[in-house]
């Protein structure tokens, strides 16, 4: 008769996020400090979400309601740690909600760069009678608990730095704090914790020696790199992790075929989707979700946020593009601003100091110089002359401007919405258009030019 395989234990994730972060010297709770524009804790939650856990618990304390408010939409269970009495005490607060037959993965709200792949590997090493422990080897392990091993290399215990002997302080293998343990046994070990140590706290690390005494296997896993397990305690470390995060995201893009002129001068935040042969110049900021089609080129000092850019489009230097859809083979910039709600069809040109908001421009239309297009629908093949403004706001309401295919708008034109310009119409330069302009006709509005003879410019009295 074939042997019946037992089901793998389910997973509960506990994220410890109650620390005050005094060294940050900030009113903002430590786990809400920003990394790539998002709270540290948000990065940890993203990683946890990829592990297929049955439940995720966040143990919070300092700035508690502020932390909960900032991440109110996160699918987690919030657990208050009213007193901060150590990592063991923090885990104890969540354990009443965790079933005995689960595995418990302990993470930290200020360790944001752990990869899901590393944690999946760690979880696979744990089981009903085994505890998995993530370690890291450091050139300078100062501040880390040390992994004390036996003659055969087995993990015996973890000793915190303040409790370590001179010999133990020479150990370079440090404790990351990340572990996976069977919930039923972990609950028993936590109940045995005592505060007889240099900090007078309940150390979670003490459960390692308890597991050994209970003949539970302790399986160490070396972290793939130091950067992945770094925590944040002050603004200097925060800046170091920001640089590491930038480098990681740049490497991901380059592996996907993107040419990045200088990987040290690019910011990538959120979800980015790219096709082949994209080029990003220096100081580009991408705030996802962003899609960049094949052959897109993005010039220096450009911000792209929550936008789609289709194949073959070139975005020149110093542009800002937010919540917009850019069609193929467009040319934008330099110094263009494309605001939310904008849709550009194929081959549109926006030039220097052109601002477009909540507008649609048809294929091949151009606004090359010093213009504002707001709340407008512009057909195909339209030329918007320099200095054109759609006057869309009357002080209370926004009104739309409609311009038909093939229209020509002369320079310096004011289009006072609501107004329509017919297909093929021409608007003479310097006009203020307040009524609909018929198709295929020239419409212009200019006051009579007057020269006043003998007039003298006023001078300032001495």
> Backbone phi, then psi, for 41, in 5-degree steps?
-60, -35
DSSP β-ladder status, 103-108 and 331-332: unpaired
Residues 6+ apart with CB under 8 A from 243: 264
Q: 25 near 235, Cβ under 8 Å?
A: yes
CB atoms within 10 A of CB 9: 20
- The catalytic residue among 43, 77, 89, 369 is 369
Q: 333 near 315, Cβ under 8 Å?
A: yes
Report the distance separating Cα 101 and Cα 68, nearest Å: 28
Residue 140 burial (CB < 10 Å; 0-12/13-18/19+)?
Answer: exposed
Strand partners for 272: 290
Report the distance separating Cα 245 and Cα 25, nearest Å: 23
Report the distance separating Cα 248 and Cα 241, nearest Å: 10
The two tokens of residue 417 are: 């919405």
Which H or E run contains 292?
Answer: strand 290-292
Classify each residue of 12-49 as buried b or exposed e, where b means 16 or more C-beta atoms within 10 Å of its C-beta.
bbbbbbbbebeebeeeebbbbbebbebbbbbbbbebbe
Strand partners for 73: none
The angle subtended at Cα 364 by Cα 375 and Cα 323, nearest 5°, is: 45
Could you confirm whether 102 is annotated as catalytic?
no
CB atoms within 10 A of CB 180: 26
Active site residues: 369
């Amino acid at each position: 008769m074939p042997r019946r395989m037992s089901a793998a234990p389910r997973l509960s994730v506990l994220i410890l996020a109650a620390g005050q972060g005094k060294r940050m010297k900030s009113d903002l709770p430590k786990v809400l400090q920003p990394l790539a524009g998002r709270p540290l804790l948000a990065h940890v939650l993203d990683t946890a979400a990829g592990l297929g856990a049955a439940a995720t618990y966040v143990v919070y304390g300092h700035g508690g309601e502020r932390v909960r408010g900032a991440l109110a939409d996160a699918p987690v269970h919030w657990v208050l740690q009213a007193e901060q009495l150590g990592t063991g005490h923090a885990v104890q607060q969540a354990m009443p909600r965790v079933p005995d037959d689960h595995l418990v993965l302990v993470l930290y709200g200020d360790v944001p760069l752990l990869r899901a792949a590393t944690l999946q590997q760690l979880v696979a090493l744990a089981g009903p009678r085994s505890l998995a422990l993530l370690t890291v080897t450091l050139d300078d392990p100062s501040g880390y608990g040390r992994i004390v091993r036996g003659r055969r290399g087995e993990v015996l215990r973890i000793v915190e730095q303040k409790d370590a002997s001179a010999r133990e302080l020479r150990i370079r293998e440090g404790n990351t704090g990340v572990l996976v343990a069977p919930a039923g046994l972990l609950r028993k070990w936590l109940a045995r914790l005592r505060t007889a140590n240099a900090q007078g706290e309940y150390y979670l690390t003490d459960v390692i020696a308890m597991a050994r005494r209970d003949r539970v296997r302790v399986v160490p896993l070396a972290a793939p790199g130091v950067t992945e397990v770094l925590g944040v305690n002050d603004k200097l470390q925060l800046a170091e992790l920001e640089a590491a995060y930038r480098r990681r995201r740049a490497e991901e893009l380059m592996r996907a075929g993107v040419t990045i002129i200088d990987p040290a001068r690019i910011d990538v935040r959120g979800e980015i989707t790219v096709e082949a042969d994209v080029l990003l110049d220096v100081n580009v900021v991408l705030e996802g979700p962003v899609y960049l089609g094949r052959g897109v080129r993005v010039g220096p000092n450009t911000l792209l946020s929550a936008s789609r850019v289709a194949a073959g489009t070139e975005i020149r230097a110093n542009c800002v593009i937010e919540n917009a859809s850019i069609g193929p083979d467009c040319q934008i910039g330099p110094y263009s601003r494309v605001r939310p709600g904008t849709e550009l069809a194929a081959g549109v040109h926006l030039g220097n100091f052109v601002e477009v908001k909540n507008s649609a421009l048809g294929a091949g239309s151009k606004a090359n110089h010093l213009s504002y297009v707001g709340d407008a629908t512009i057909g195909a093949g339209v030329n918007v002359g320099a200095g054109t403004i759609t006057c869309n706001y009357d002080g209370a309401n926004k009104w739309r401007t409609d311009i038909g295919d093939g229209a020509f708008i002369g320079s310096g034109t004011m289009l006072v919405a609501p107004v329509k310009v017919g297909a093929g119409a021409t608007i003479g330069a310097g006009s203020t258009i307040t009524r609909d302009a018929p198709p295929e006709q020239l419409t212009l509005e200019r006051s009579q030019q007057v020269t006043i003879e003998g007039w003298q410019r006023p001078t300032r009295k001495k």
